[in-house]
Each structure stands twice: as structure tokens, then as C-alpha cells.
């Protein structure tokens, strides 16, 4: 706790001190940048075999980058004073994200245009647009993309159920805390564990309780993963089980934030439960609903874990998501170049799709208001 008052410094003297600090800051930044470039050049030379320093890995470059990042932060404070101190708040996160995202994306773009199979003897080889051509002819990729459309549409069903549950929890009930925790629990569980718990044991053909129940209900042959639509629905059900709580919690928070006077007024006016929901609650909940659905769609586009572990895309690619398809391309076929091209192509589609949704949503909200 140093609440010492800084001694009054005459303006001229202060400016000189400031300028000296700024000069030192610039020197520091320059030195760090030179260090970073020198390490980079040495590493490249070493990797291409021009010099033999015997560097085992590219780790020195990583350390040089860290040193440079720290120097950048310090020099900001020295050069720009208070503005620099402010900049240091965001700089670590920015430097981290840039290092972790920009390089892999750019490098990924390069890999995407190469023919590179880890199990093949030949190394990386540039092959231009061949991967793209293969992609357009790849029936299984387009099939996976079509499946993604179904999976994204299933978010709407999840939304309806989640809204219902949120309304239930918002009603005047006893033991609300218990029900809220119980409803939330599926969200905590790892998709991998869920794959086994539900996909591989509860829905197991011979002894699973779900199969037994189905037999009791008159379904002779409850094989949940046999036909394409059945398998897809089963995967959707599992995914819904895990992710409905997420939507439910957000919708419940939205319901609780609604001004209670409005509902009171509706009750006084004699509106029935359904009427007051349709005319008042639902329209007021639209902004929250929008946020929830868009968030869920973004997460749904990454759906992979459950599919990988339960069906591995089967039967015949009926349950494949794009992510699980690429995952198998990497791991089973070691087809790095082509897999990366698929991923980058998918990323472009996602960006366009999400941008359209966001745009549509914001325009629609404006019209509503």
C-alpha cells in the first residue's frame, strides 16, 4: 500500500525523464526485434541445412517470441506512459491469440494445397488445386455437409424443449433448486463418457434398458443405429440430452429478468396462460431466444465427439459430421493435405453461414423494434 505522493517535478525535468524512458523503451523493442529476427533466420538456415548449429527443434524461436512479447509490453509502458499501461491490459491476450491462431491458419492454408500423406514414403508435395477437385467429387464430404444441415435444424427442436423446461422451472414450484441442478447435470458430462453411457450401454441392442423398454413397447427389433435415419435421430437425441440444459439455463435467466408487472397486468386483463405466453412472454423473449439459438448453432457446427465415439460415422456415413469425417481422414488415413483442405473449406462455409445468420438476426431484430 504505497500511497506516497510523488514529489513535485518541474515540467521540464519531467519531460526529459519521459523522453529518456521513451528512448530506452525504443532501444529495448529494437533489441528484442533484432533478437527475434536473428533467431528466426538462424532457425531457417539450420532447417534448410546451410549452417549446422545442431538445433533439435524450433523451440528457440518460441522462447524468442516470448521474450519479444514481454519486451513489447514493457516498451509500450516506457514509450507511451499511461496509454502504454492501458495497452498492456489487452496486449497479452492479443499476442497469445495471434501467435496461436494466425500462424496455424496461414500454415494450414499452405498444407491444404499439398499432397501430403503421413503414411506414404513421399513427403509434402505441392499439388495446386488437386485437393479442391477431389473435394468437389467427394460424395462422403457432401453427405457429411448435408448431415450438418439436419444437425443444425435439430437445434430448433432442442430450443422448443429447452423453452418448455425453462417455463416449468420458472413456474411456482417446490424443490426448484433440486430440479435445476438435476436438469443441469447432463451439461457437465464429457461427450465421450456420454457416448458410452447412452450410446453404447443404454441403447445397446441386447441388454440396454432403452432397448428393453422399446421391446416392451412393442418394437421387436430396437437397433438404434441400424438404419440411417434411426442412427441420426439417436445421435441427435444424445446431443440434445447434453446441450438442452445450456439453452434452458439461458432461457430461464431471460424469463427471470422479465418485468413481473407486465405478466400481472395480463393476468388482471384475464388472459389465459397460453394467450399471455403467446402475446407477451414469447415476444419479450425473442432477443434472448435469438442469442441462444445462434450460440447453439455455432457450437453445433463443431459436433464431433459423440459421433466419433458411438458410430464413427456409420451406417454408411449417415451420422457423419464434417468434423468427425475430417477426424477420420487424419487419424485413419493420415491424409493430412486433403483433410486440411476439407477443414479450410468447411471454415469458409461456416464463416459465410454464421455471418449471414448474424446479419439476418440483426436486421430482423431492427424490424421488430
- Binding test (CB under 8 A) with other proteins, winner from 187, 214, 223, 280: 187
> CB-wise, 108 or 228, nearer to other proteins?
108
Under rule CB under 8 A, residue 96 binds other proteins:
yes
Quick check: 200 binds other proteins (CB under 8 A)?
yes
Query: Does residue 266 belong to the site contacting other proteins (CB under 8 A)?
Result: no
User: Binding segment for other proteins among 25-33, 125-133, 177-185, 275-283 (CB under 8 A)?
Assistant: 177-185
Of the listed pieces 9-17, 29-37, 105-113, 137-145, which binds other proteins according to CB under 8 A? 105-113
Query: Binding to other proteins (CB under 8 A): which residues in 35-64?
Result: 56-59, 62
* Interacting residues with other proteins between 222 and 241 (CB under 8 A): 241
Window 289 to 348, contacts with other proteins (CB under 8 A): 291-292, 295, 298, 301-302, 304-305, 308-309, 322-323, 326-327, 330-331, 336, 339-340, 342-344, 346-347
Taking the complex as a whole, the smallest distance from the CB of residue 55 to other proteins amounts, in Å, to 11
Interaction between residue 132 and other proteins (CB under 8 A): no
CB of 281 to other proteins, least distance (A): 14
Binding of residue 20 to other proteins (CB under 8 A): no
> Cβ closer to other proteins: 195 or 276?
195
Q: Which of 171, 262, 352, 356 touches other proteins (CB under 8 A)? A: 171
Residue 286: CB minimum distance to other proteins, A: 13
Q: Is 168 in the site for other proteins (CB under 8 A)?
A: yes
In total, the chain counts a number of residues equal to 369
- Secondary structure (H, E, C), the chain: CCCCCCCCCCHHHHHHHHHHHHHHHHHHHHHHHHHHHHHHHHHHHHHHCCCCCCCCCCHHHHHHHHHHHHHHHHHHHHHHCHHHHHHHHHHHHHHHHHHHHHHHHHHHHHHHCEECECCCCCCCEECCCHHHHHHHHCHHHHHHHHHHHHHHHHHHHHHHHHHHHHHHHHCCCCCHHHHHHHHHHHHHCCHHHHHHHHHHHHCCCCCCHHHHHHHHCCCCCCCCCCCHHHHHHHHHHHHHHHHHHHHHHHHHHHHHHCCHHHHHHHHHCCCCHHHHHHHHHHHHHHHHHHHHHHHHHHHHCCCCHHHHHHCCCCCCCCCCCHHHHHHHHHHCCCEHHHHHHHHHHHHHHHHHHHHHHHHHHHHHHHHHC
Q: Which of 180, 214, 271, 315 binds other proteins (CB under 8 A)?
A: 180
**CA-wise closest residue to 345 among 166, 173, 148:** 148
In the complex, minimum distance from the CB of residue 265 to other proteins, in angstroms, rounded to a whole number: 20
From the list 246, 266, 281, 320, which residue makes contact with other proteins (rule: CB under 8 A)?
Answer: 246
Smallest distance, Å, CB 143 to other proteins?
17
Amino acid at each position: 500500500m504505497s500511497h506516497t505522493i510523488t514529489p513535485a517535478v518541474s515540467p521540464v525535468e519531467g519531460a526529459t525523464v519521459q523522453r529518456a524512458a521513451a528512448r530506452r523503451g525504443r532501444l529495448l523493442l529494437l533489441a528484442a526485434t533484432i533478437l527475434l529476427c536473428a533467431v528466426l533466420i538462424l532457425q531457417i538456415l539450420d532447417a534448410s541445412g546451410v549452417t549446422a548449429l545442431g538445433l533439435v527443434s524450433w523451440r528457440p524461436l518460441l522462447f524468442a517470441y516470448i521474450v519479444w512479447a514481454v519486451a513489447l509490453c514493457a516498451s509500450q509502458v516506457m514509450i507511451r506512459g499511461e496509454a502504454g499501461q492501458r495497452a498492456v491490459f489487452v496486449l497479452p491476450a492479443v499476442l497469445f491469440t495471434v501467435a496461436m491462431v494466425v500462424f496455424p491458419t496461414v500454415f494450414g492454408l499452405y498444407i491444404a494445397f499439398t499432397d501430403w500423406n503421413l503414411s506414404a514414403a513421399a513427403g509434402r508435395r505441392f499439388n495446386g488445386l488437386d485437393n479442391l477437385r477431389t473435394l468437389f467429387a467427394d460424395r462422403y464430404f457432401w453427405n457429411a455437409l448435408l448431415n450438418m444441415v439436419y444437425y443444425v435444424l435439430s437445434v430448433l427442436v432442442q430450443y422448443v424443449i429447452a423453452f418448455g423446461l425453462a417455463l416449468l422451472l420458472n413456474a411456482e414450484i417446490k424443490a426448484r433448486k433440486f430440479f435445476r441442478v438435476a436438469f443441469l447435470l447432463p451439461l457437465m458430462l464429457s461427450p465421450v463418457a456420454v457416448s458410452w453411457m447412452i450410446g453404447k450401454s443404454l441403447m445397446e441392442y441386447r441388454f440396454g434398458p432403452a432397448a428393453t423398454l422399446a421391446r416392451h413397447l412393442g418394437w421387436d427389433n430396437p437397433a438404434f443405429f441400424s438404419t440411417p435415419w434411426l442412427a441420426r435421430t439417436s445421435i441427435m437425441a444424445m446431443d440434445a440430452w447434453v446441450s438442452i440444459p445450456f439453452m434452458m439455463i439461458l432461457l430461464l435467466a431471460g424469463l427471470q429478468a422479465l418485468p413481473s408487472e407486465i405478466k400481472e397486468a395480463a393476468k388482471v386483463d384475464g388472459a389465459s396462460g397460453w394467450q399471455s405466453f403467446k402475446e407477451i412472454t414469447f415476444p419479450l423473449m425473442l432477443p434472448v431466444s435469438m442469442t441462444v439459438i445462434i450460440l447453439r448453432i455455432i457450437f453445433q457446427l463443431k459436433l464431433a465427439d459423440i459421433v466419433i465415439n458411438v458410430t464413427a460415422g456409420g451406417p454408411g456415413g449417415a451420422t457423419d459430421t464434417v468434423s468427425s469425417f475430417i477426424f477420420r481422414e487424419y487419424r485413419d488415413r493420415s491424409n493430412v493435405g486433403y483433410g486440411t483442405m476439407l477443414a479450410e473449406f468447411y471454415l469458409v462455409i461456416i464463416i459465410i453461414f454464421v455471418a449471414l445468420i448474424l446479419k439476418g438476426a440483426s436486421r430482423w431484430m431492427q424490424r421488430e423494434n
